[in-house]
Chain A
Amino acid sequence: MHNSHTRPRPGRLLVVLGWLLALCATALPALANDAAPAAADPALEARMTRITAELRCLVCQNQTIADSNADLAVDLRRQVREMLSKGDDDAKIIQYMTDRYGDFVLYRPPVKATTWLLWFGPALMLLFGFGALAVVMRRRARTAAEQFDADDPALFADPHQS
């Protein structure tokens, strides 16, 4: 019987080849790629995402140019990416956009004389609110006791005053 193993026969060769191929096939998943990032440069992409999230799409006006599928948004994203690759800083890109489209394209309104009320308004409202509260409290403190209602005894008997 051992004579049949001294010279490889075509059938055996095929079987061996078959096994080799099978081995290769099992190794294929290991060769399957760790998916490449859609973008070439992650740091640039991070800046890209941040900037485009603050720019308004002028066609689909309720989306950022990051999210919009309008042609103009695609073109503007390309433009931003080119400028970032050239090394332009954020301010230059914003300037580029506002030169062509005005402040409307910015979701973060610039702080200028016409927007002082916008940016400082909330703080002013808060100050006004607390100021009004203080004024009212002071006025109440000066009012005579008879002007007020009596306390409800039931409420003050409860230790937790629920």
Chain B
Amino acid sequence: MKSLRYILPLLAFLILAGFLARGLNLDPREVPSPLIGKPAPSFALTRLDDPAATFKRDDMLGKVWMLNVWASWCVACREEHPLLVEFSKRGLVPIYGLNYKDKRPDGQGWLARFGNPYNASLFDDDGRVGIDFGVYGVPETFIIDKQGVIRLKHIGPLTPDVIRERIEPMLSKLNA
């Protein structure tokens, strides 16, 4: 029994090492969203292509839709954009863009150059709607269900794996 306590430091260390090993597969910088499972924040924004037209969150009630946060100054958005354009052609889900902290001419020009996968893009020039959605890095992608509840958030550029393994299954589930 006396010898038992001398084992404690070794045991404590091995438990710690286990956690450290697990930590090698985690990303300490990724911030998960507290909004999953909660209603999407309400917003009313003008459209990027038409300052007179307004788009509200409630306009999309009853439909499953995707919100993709992008900006013309965002380098990583260029990475995912061709993929997004391809994906939009499949017509699986209506895609709306949130043009985050951008200028109208820059945003429109960017879409003209690189393609427009969006049914419409919403112009969030001061970033307040982005903050309401918990956006902290561009690009980010949300899937919102028929009741207006956020069901998925992906941080960073979309990749074929993400679309195949996370987005398509979620869409099937929500459309069922």
Contact = CB atoms under 8 A, between A and B. Distances in A.
A/B: CB atoms within 8 Å of each other:
yes
B127 A75 contact: yes
A61 B101 contact: no
Given A61-B29, A75-B127, A75-B131, A101 B136 contact: yes
Interface string B79-119: 00000000000000000000001000000000000000000
15 contacts: A58-B31, A61-B29, A75-B127, A75-B131, A76-B131, A100-B34, A100-B35, A100-B132, A101-B31, A101-B134, A102-B31, A102-B32, A102-B34, A104-B31, A105-B31
Nearest to B100: A71
Given A102-B31, A102-B34, A58 B101 contact: no
Contacts, number: 39
Nearest to A100: B134
Interface string A73-90: 001100100000000000
A95 B157 CA distance: 29
Interface string B126-168: 1110011110110000000000000000000000000000000
A72 interface: yes
Nearest to B28: A61
B33 interface: yes
Interface of B: 29, 31-35, 101, 126-128, 131-134, 136-137
A152 interface: no
A102 B137 CA distance: 15
B136 A99 contact: no
B32 A79 contact: no
A96 B29 CA distance: 21
Interface string A91-126: 000000011111011000000000000000000000
Contacts of A105: 31
Contact of B136 (A59, A79, A98): A59
B32 to A, nearest CB: 7
Contacts of B132: 100
A58 B126 CA distance: 18
Nearest to A72: B136
* Residue of B32, B127, B128, B133 ringed by the most chain A CB atoms within 10 A: B127
Given A101-B136, A104-B31, 6 more contacts: A61-B29, A71-B127, A76-B131, A100-B131, A100-B134, A105-B31
Interface string A58-74: 11010000000001100
Contacts of A101: 31, 34, 134, 136
A76 B127 CA distance: 10
Contact of A59 (B32, B127, B137): B137
B66 to A, nearest CB: 20
A99 B131 contact: no
Nearest to B5: A132
A63 to B, nearest CB: 13
Contacts of A71: 101, 127
A59 B33 CA distance: 15
Nearest to B35: A100
Contacts of B136: 58-59, 72, 101
A26 B136 CA distance: 53
Contacts of A102: 31-34, 134
